Structure 1
Amino acid sequence: MATPGTCTHFLAVFALISALLIGFYGAGSGVTWPVVFLTAVTGLGLLWLRRRDGRTERRVCVLVLGDLGRSPRMQYHALSLSKHGYNVTFVGFLDTKPHQEVLREEKIKLVPVAEVKGVRVGPKILTYVTKVILQCLQLLYVLLRMETQSHILMQNPPGLPGIAVACLVCVLRGSRFVIDWHNYGYTIMALSHGGTHPVVRLAKWYEHFFGPLASRNLCVTNAMKDDLQKNWGIKATTLYDCPPSIFRETPLKLQHRLFMRLANKYPQFQSRGCEDDKQVERSVFSECDLCEEAVTLRAERPALLLSSTSWTEDEDFSVLLKALEDYEGFIKAGASLPSLVCVITGNSLPCTVTPKL
């Protein structure tokens, strides 16, 4: 049986959709714009009735227009809020599973959204515009159908069209909007299209216009805090990334099992020499006495350097490659430095191991 609140919600959405349809298709049929205006006001009024009550103060929506499993900072936010007694609605793409702590937490509810592609025919601008429109409708549907939240915490970038939609929902439902600034969306777009491209200029205007509308702002560094204040007029709080207690040192036995699995696939992890001893299982980093099942790290092991590939174009991966060249130069000049095994992983690049220096 539908509750009065649910009925009010659907009536409000119906009124707003009706206003849009009347506006688009009713102009030539004698329907006047005052009718459109009144229909829209009715929808807004019904949504206003569903504004915050006392129960919403312990509910927060954490919104990511990206893969939740590859958004560690937003997972930390969700976990931290849940441990402080908040019921968290975690919205985003579920291409990769979030951490088990997030999945096990009873106060965190995952709400998956599908990645919108847009129309795949015609010019690229048509694809982009249709993608933005469809994503707006998708987010409105998801955010308006959930329980009213006291706050919506959103990661930026990506912020188009999420910031505008979240602002609208917060106004309609009396929620407070918080943006966690990781970067600027328009600067990332400029790497592909150039700073003078009309889409990039529109994206910059969009962030400048909607960004200051947030109730609170977080950022990842003091440098970004200063830039937000100086160039955007946004007062933000620096919240450094800090790994939660779910991150612990991996036990030696588990490390060894991982190294042996990698050794079966990549020669850089395979031990060289002393292979006649059948009682000892070795990788280049560790060895296990099979009789006593005791694992130790090898004294002559190389250093392990692990890095993911760039998720966005603004992360210049050539910096690491240049550093490796400099490192090799120091070794050739006689510096006493360990060999390196470099593991580069990522969604767009298979696991690759460079030769030891």
Structure 2
Amino acid sequence: MMAVTKRHPGRVCVVVLGDVGRSPRMCYHAQSLASRGHPVDVVGYMRKDAEKLAVARSATLYPLWQVPGWISGCPGLLAYLLKALWQAVVLFIILMTLPHFSSLLMQNPPGVPAMPVCWLACRLRRARLVVDWHNYSYTIMALSVGRQSPLVKITRWLEGVFGRRADANLCVTRAMQQDLAKNWGVVAEPLHDRPAARFHPIPPEETHELFVRLGKIYQAFSTTVPDRTAFTERHADGSVALFDDRPGLLVSGTSWTEDEDFSVLLHALQEYESAREEGGHDLPRLVCVITGRGPLKEFYCQLMERKHWNHVEVLTPWLEEDDYPRLLASADLGVSLHTSSSGLDLPMKVVDMFGAGLPVCAFDFKCLSELVEHGENGFVFNSASQLAEQLIAWFRGFPHSQQMAALRRRFRQRIGEFRSQGWEANWERHARHLFDDV
């Protein structure tokens, strides 16, 4: 009889030409692969506390070498070319010196120089290249240099050429799947984002513990009374209750980039403040927590410092990875200002909010209806005034508004249906075969 050879799951290299900690979908990919027995290497830029990331418990991390500071000091076009060359050389060296992998999964964007380098490394190492399309590199670049820039045209050409040469492609929406096929002949499998298991509703006790920790840093969460926060109180029997006269807690996450105009939220908060000042005594004080890091954070923080609000307070903390899901589960409403440079991707922050059971207000764009349905599981807005109207309606009579009770129940039901289709089951159905069939 012939001996049966047992197949072992192949090694997979996951590439992010960006901050791994700010690429949750790629981290989820790595964790799903590792849970199914694949040895996983993650290559990308790592912040100093990268070892605290959940993915570090599932994969081996290989940090990319940072671009030297002198390159940033060069004139614009030269700086871009030198940066791309540096990244290409560093990424190629690391990919060629890693333990042998059978598949490479790369995030796009950024696709240049990642896509050509990953394709070449896969051909030389006889590995399978899988591209996960989160958006388009050329549309993001066009936000800063304009669509007619030669750099944008070259980037678009490179994405099309190497997208067609990939062995397999994933993408984040059905709209992107259709666009890839129509414009570039790229065949992609849509894999909608779903919340990881750590995003889920939590009991009041966990909310209280989170607010106690935040209260040690931010006065908006604290009181001078033992076992009390600005939102919760622990009773003598150990149970926790939320105050009826507590502030409303609004939360938003951002990468502070050009495709999110945070002045929209600031204008909406100004209108909320004005409504409260002009006799809206049934509107609670509002604590707005905006999380994330990014290039435009300092600009918007300076704008917020000029505001002198009596009934709205804005905080911009950086939370521990495990505290972010708890904050979403403890909030009363989420806001997404993601607009998408291509109009073809969906905001991961909304997926996480739904996972935590949190309703959202989301800025409208072409394919948002694949995730947020206005009046069914959240609100959709097109302007600061519309967002302000939604905030005022949601929080009027808070927390026991009879007017909004039916809508809140409907949102909870629809969000519950969304939560029932988790990341793992979705990944198993749409992505696993790309790596198991190697």
Aligned partner letter, 2:290: I
Q: Does the residue aligned with 1:142 lie in a helix, a strand or coil?
A: helix
Distance 2:216 2:9 in 1: 53
Question: Conserved in 2, the CA contact under 8 Å of 1:156 and 1:183?
Answer: yes
Residue 308 of structure 1 and its aligned partner are, at CA, apart by: 2.1
1:303 is aligned to: 248
Distance 1:183 1:98 in 2: 27
Higher relative contact order (CA 8 A, sep 6+): 2
1:343 is aligned to: 289
Which residue of 82, 101, 112 corresponds with 2:63? Answer: 112
1:216 is aligned to: 168
1:313 is aligned to: 258
Q: Map 1:158-307; keep pairs closer than 5 Å.
A: 158-270=110-222, 280-289=226-235, 291-307=236-252
Residue 75 of structure 1 and its aligned partner are, at CA, apart by: 0.6
Alignment partner of 1:103 is 2:56: yes
Residue 167 of structure 1 and its aligned partner are, at CA, apart by: 0.5
Residue 122 of structure 1 and its aligned partner are, at CA, apart by: 4.0
Residue 98 of structure 1 and its aligned partner are, at CA, apart by: 6.3
Residue 339 of structure 1 and its aligned partner are, at CA, apart by: 4.7
Question: Conserved in 2, the CA contact under 8 Å of 1:154 and 1:180?
Answer: yes
Alpha-carbon RMSD: 3.0
Long gaps (5+) in structure 2: 1-5, 313-391, 393-438
1:87 is aligned to: 39
Q: Percent identity?
A: 46
| 1:115-138 superposed Cα distances (whole Å, 9 cap, x missing partner) | 224634542222221211121111
Q: Map 1:2-151; keep pairs closer than 5 Å.
A: 58-95=10-47, 96-97=49-50, 100-105=53-58, 108-117=59-68, 119-151=71-103
Distance 1:122 1:114 in 2: 19
| 1:87-125 superposed Cα distances (whole Å, 9 cap, x missing partner) | 1111111115266542223xx211111222463454222
Q: Does the residue aligned with 2:255 lie in a helix, a strand or coil?
A: coil
Question: Conserved in 2, the CA contact under 8 Å of 1:101 and 1:246?
Answer: no
Residue 173 of structure 1 and its aligned partner are, at CA, apart by: 1.8
Distance 2:258 2:28 in 1: 24
1:37 is aligned to: none
Change (3 A) 1:113 1:56: farther
Stretch of structure 1 that moved more, 236-245 or 59-68: 236-245
Q: Does the residue aligned with 2:71 lie in a helix, a strand or coil?
A: coil
Long gaps (5+) in structure 1: 1-53
Residue 311 of structure 1 and its aligned partner are, at CA, apart by: 4.2
Distance 2:281 2:183 in 1: 45
Distance 1:337 1:200 in 2: 47
Stretch of structure 1 that moved more, 257-266 or 155-164: 257-266
Aligned partner letter, 2:138: Y
Aligned partner letter, 1:214: A
Distance 1:310 1:79 in 2: 23
Decide which structure has the larger Cα Rg and report it.
Answer: 1
Question: Conserved in 2, the CA contact under 8 Å of 1:60 and 1:88?
Answer: yes
Distance 1:326 1:233 in 2: 47
Change (3 A) 1:339 1:203: same
Q: Does the residue aligned with 2:50 lie in a helix, a strand or coil?
A: coil
Alignment partner of 1:153 is 2:101: no
TM-score, normalization by structure 2: 0.60
Distance 2:283 2:40 in 1: 48
Change (3 A) 1:337 1:151: farther
Distance 1:147 1:264 in 2: 45
Q: Does the residue aligned with 1:119 lie in a helix, a strand or coil?
A: helix
Distance 1:181 1:57 in 2: 24
Change (3 A) 1:202 1:333: farther
